[in-house]
């Protein structure tokens, strides 16, 4: 199967790529700033090499408008943050944040996070965030959910021992699905000690505007350790 043919048959994990028209400033930042922040993925390369000087690297899958990504980068200057987001408008928004409040330890990949993960060497990530993803509620779309058993195998490969996987959602069916596969995987251990822990936001897990405006259920904040 050719590369082009394989790409057409690759399991799609996201919906539309672009929303409302961008502002002139956003268009300019996509043309000028984004290329400077886009990592040139190299198979097996230490992800720290994508930054000037960091001690660890974290990955956020589907960062939306980038509020959480930017907050983590500002508050952890010795950590490199790679954010993957195929939605153009979300990337444009975080570029505006970075221009207003520079965060040299952010890299942005405006495409599928699986590209990043497949290129990473063993035990190279200290933390992974999958926060409030599209629940893909229809049964025929469940295959589009990012966290599947196959993906957990890949994350187990690239996450360090003791690294943390954070997952957040307010969608009960998605939470049940995600908990089931994570609890069954031998490489991940739930860090909560009681059910109430799931509903307590960690101090270093800031709320985004999306959460404040769009949540419809009770949010759960799941933390799993790579054992």
The domains found in the chain, sorted by start residue, are 3-226 (3.40.50.150)
Beta carbons within 10 angstroms of residue 110's beta carbon: 18
d(CA 21, CA 58) in angstroms, rounded, equals: 31
d(CA 197, CA 157) in angstroms, rounded, equals: 27
Q: How confident is the model at residue 4 (pLDDT cuts 50, 70, 90)?
A: very low
Between 193 and 165, residue with greater pLDDT: 165
d(CA 134, CA 104) in angstroms, rounded, equals: 29
Q: pLDDT tens for residues 138-152?
A: 989 999 999 999 999
Average pLDDT in the chain: 91
Max CA-CA distance within the chain? Answer: 49
Q: How confident is the model at residue 83 (pLDDT cuts 50, 70, 90)?
A: very high
| Least confident window among 33-42, 70-79, 206-215 | 206-215
What's the rounded mean pLDDT across residues 193-207? 89
Q: pLDDT tens for residues 173-187?
A: 999 999 999 999 999
Position 126 pLDDT exceeds 50: yes
What's the rounded mean pLDDT across residues 55-79? 97
- Return all residues near 41 (Cβ < 8 A) that are at least 6 apart: 109, 115, 116, 119
Give SS3 for 115.
Answer: helix
Between 132 and 194, residue with greater pLDDT: 132
What's the rounded mean pLDDT across residues 193-220? 84
What's the rounded mean pLDDT across residues 24-30? 98
According to the model, what pLDDT value does residue 15 have?
A: 47
Q: How confident is the model at residue 153 (pLDDT cuts 50, 70, 90)?
A: very high
pTM for the structure as a whole: 0.91
- Hey, which residues are catalytic here? 134
């Amino acid at each position: 199967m050719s590369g082009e043919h394989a790409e057409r048959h690759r399991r799609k994990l996201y919906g539309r790529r672009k929303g409302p028209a961008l502002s002139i400033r956003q268009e300019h930042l996509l043309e000028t700033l984004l290329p400077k922040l886009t990592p040139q993925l190299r198979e097996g390369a230490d992800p720290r090499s994508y930054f000037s000087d960091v001690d660890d690297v974290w990955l956020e899958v589907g960062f939306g408008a980038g509020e959480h990504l930017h907050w983590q980068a500002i508050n952890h200057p010795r950590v490199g943050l790679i954010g993957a987001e195929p939605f153009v408008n979300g990337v444009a928004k975080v570029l505006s944040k970075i221009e207003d409040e520079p965060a040299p330890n952010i890299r942005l990949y405006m495409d599928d996070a699986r590209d990043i993960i497949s290129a990473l060497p063993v035990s190279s990530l200290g933390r992974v965030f999958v926060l409030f993803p599209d629940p893909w509620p229809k049964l025929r779309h469940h295959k589009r959910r990012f966290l599947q058993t196959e993906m957990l195998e890949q994350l187990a490969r690239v996450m360090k021992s003791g690294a943390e996987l954070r997952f957040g959602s307010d969608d009960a069916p998605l939470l049940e699905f995600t908990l089931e596969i994570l609890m069954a995987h031998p490489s991940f251990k739930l860090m909560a000690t009681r059910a109430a822990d799931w509903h307590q936001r960690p101090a270093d897990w800031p709320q985004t505007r999306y959460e404040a405006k769009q949540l419809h259920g009770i949010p759960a904040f799941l933390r799993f350790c790579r054992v």
